[in-house]
Chain A
């Protein structure tokens, strides 16, 4: 018969009592009693205490980044926002992209950040001057005439005989080129002048800007009938 006395031997108990006489370290006593009075968190409680604020901070940070990104996207599409046609809205970013191609190309070649070149003239003065010849080789003759024009104008504005910094010239050139890639407000005042401008773009082998301008024209003047090219 098995009884509980078989599970309990006084000699073993005594030997164990003799062996196990450790006391709780005083610093542990202090910590636990301090915890009991609500003065101290547990080690794991302390780790958990970080989780919530960090999660909140991350959520707020991500939300702000998302809102900023959204607002920037809206800023980049002013034409699309003013138009009523959904198709125009869809095409607007592509048009903006097309208009900015040359500027982007110039900026990439000059290894200068886009925002710096266009919006921060004081910084431009500190930028290293570009090798004018190497830039000039990249453009065709008509492009170079624009460059020279910008150079002349910059020289006149600064009132000095020294040539203006090359980055400023390129920025001015890019601006002019942008204008050349699209029709201005005067051209867009009537359907006929607008279409004439589009024809001009086509003749200049700028098929994509011409197509975009035509779409804008049709959106603005739905009644406008494009003349048959054969007639």
Chain B
């Protein structure tokens, strides 16, 4: 072993023993090209505000959409969104990269949503959000209408899904989480998470295919 390679055990790195010549740059070397979320969070914990901004820009829209679809209200989504990031900011000193950062982030978001639901019951009256309209320039009016209707049907179907199924579907779509990660975030076992996801996908598929079946 080289004299300048010393084993270090850092609580900030989950207590893992790492070998490196310059302990202060233990995580910095790993993110020369693509900074990992956890590494960015650790850098932010060390006072690098720019690292947080990168991290935030990666996840802000997905988290916002997750909360928006889950709560069904823009005001609620705004409140929970701020609360989620407030908690992430507060956790910067104690953060340990024991799991994937996305799992940690969505777990915080999920818990904030549950807390919000307990605080005020208004979420129970979910409203269908107005979809933002996008149209391709080369798209025929018929196709555009069909797409618009499909979006509307999907939106309604999403709203009518049971909360757990909608949560599982949104975690998959927005967070890109696996079934195991969904189970970890929602605090249920793998089979339950898988079942919820399957039911959700089946219902949404039926909603999309509905006009084709009827015609």
B173 touches A20 (CB 8 A): yes
For the complex, is A32 an interface residue (Cβ under 8 Å from B)?
yes
B49 touches A36 (CB 8 A): yes
Asked if A15 meets B150 with Cβ closer than 8 Å, knowing A28-B78, A42-B82, A44-B86, the reply is yes
Chain B 28-70 per-residue mask, 1 if CB under 8 angstroms from chain A, else 0: 0000000000000000100001001100100011001100110
CB under 8 Å from chain B, chain A span 22-47: 22-25, 28-29, 31-33, 35-37, 42-45
B197 touches A12 (CB 8 A): no
Provide the bound-state CA to CA distance between A17 and B65, in Å.
Answer: 11
User: Which stretch from B5-13, B93-101, B200-208 is at the chain A interface?
Assistant: B200-208
Instruction: Give chain B's interface residue range (CB within 8 Å of chain A).
Output: 35 or more
A36 touches B65 (CB 8 A): no
For the complex, is B79 an interface residue (Cβ under 8 Å from A)?
yes
Q: DSSP class of B's interface residues: helix, strand, loop or mixed?
A: helix
Chain B 10-36 per-residue mask, 1 if CB under 8 angstroms from chain A, else 0: 000000000000000000000000000
Residues of A within 8 A of B172 (CB): 7-8
Provide the bound-state CA to CA distance between A35 and B155, in Å.
Answer: 33
A43 touches B83 (CB 8 A): yes
A20 to chain B, nearest CB (A): 5
Residues of B within 8 A of A18 (CB): 134, 147, 150-151
Asked if A21 meets B134 with Cβ closer than 8 Å, knowing A15-B154, A29-B60, the reply is yes
B205 touches A11 (CB 8 A): yes
A2 touches B132 (CB 8 A): no
B201 touches A19 (CB 8 A): no
B86 touches A12 (CB 8 A): no
23 contacts between A and B (CB under 8 A): A2-B194, A7-B179, A7-B194, A9-B201, A9-B204, A12-B204, A12-B205, A18-B150, A19-B131, A20-B65, A20-B69, A20-B174, A22-B61, A22-B64, A23-B61, A24-B61, A25-B78, A28-B81, A32-B60, A32-B81, A35-B82, A37-B49, A42-B82
